[in-house]
Amino acid sequence: MSLTAHAFVDAFLPHKTPANQLGHGQAPVNIALSKYWGKRHLELNLPTNSSLSISLPDLGTQTQLSIQSELTADQVILNHTPLTTDHPFAQRVSQFLNLFRPSPDTYFQVDTQNSVPTGAGLASSASGYAALVLALEELFQWQLTKPQLSILARMGSGSASRSLFQGFAIWHKGEKADGSDSFAEPIDQQWPDLCIGLVKVDISEKAVGSTAGMQRTVETCDLYQAWPQQAERNVKTIQQAIEKKDFTQLGETAEHNALSMHATMIATWPPIVYWQPASLAAMQTVWQLRQAGVEVYFTMDAGPNLKLLFESQNQDKVLEAFPDCQVIRPF
């Protein structure tokens, strides 16, 4: 019998008795340089492949959490706007909080603020569930380790497992059926010259969410069979590039990895195409810059927006080509 999320959490946590009146959490968004796409266990959010990311300081989520005795349902406030209980975002948050309720009639007030658009392929769910787990940890005082918190964050959103860390992080896919070895940990490497540029093509909520898109890809795409092996190789190659500060190796591998992931989506049926005309135009601009001797690469998550990878000496030329690009220096 497959292990349920409730059974795992009940065995995992020391208790479900709040120790504080309030819990606070803050977490950055992260951009995967080698992507996660596909699950080997839906309910436990276990991935078919490992992944590696870079967090973006000053972009992310701040969350405050409390238990309110007068509530008859969870109250979710997103960016200062109270959501109705049937709002998809509120429903997803409540479903996750079901794992941690001291009793079925205990309800939470969740006040969360995102500095990136929600559901637009800019990693808001990663920072959101990481911040929520940190708020739960402060509220309940479980005194869990970072790997243990990463496991809990993973159960809300797979990529959230990596958003507990600044800088580079690797999420190990794990082998165990219960997912106890599927967590993220930091990579202790700095890269002061590395820059990330956000090219926002469309920040509206995407039509096909990542979870649904992954499942459709796994079920219908013949090309997907090659993806987990490539992704594992890419993680190792990018780790080596980070250790050697080999920007060409990092950029080429990250761009190829992103295009390979999107290729599996396009070969899914019905096809999943997040790209828009402006996305393709931005890719062409990146390739033209490289032909002109400006070393810049891109990566894309499940959405139309590009994340540019370049080093600080090329920032002026990148901004000349992408004047609206938001530049972030992770280190």
DSSP 172-197: -----TT-TT--EEE-----TTEEEE
Say what angle helices 247-266 and 227-244 make with each other, to 10 degrees. Answer: 160
**Domains in the chain: ranges and CATH:** 5-186 (3.30.230.10), 194-328 (3.30.70.890)
Ranges under pLDDT 50 in the chain: 1, 120
pLDDT at 15: 94
The 3-state DSSP class for residue 122 equals coil
pLDDT at 207: 85
pLDDT at 116: 75
pLDDT at 1: 42
91-127 pLDDT, tens digit per residue, is 999 999 999 999 999 999 999 999 876 654 555 889 9
As to burial, measured by CB atoms within 10 angstroms (0-12 exposed, 13-18 middle, 19+ buried), residue 22 is middle
CB 274 within 8 A of CB 304: yes
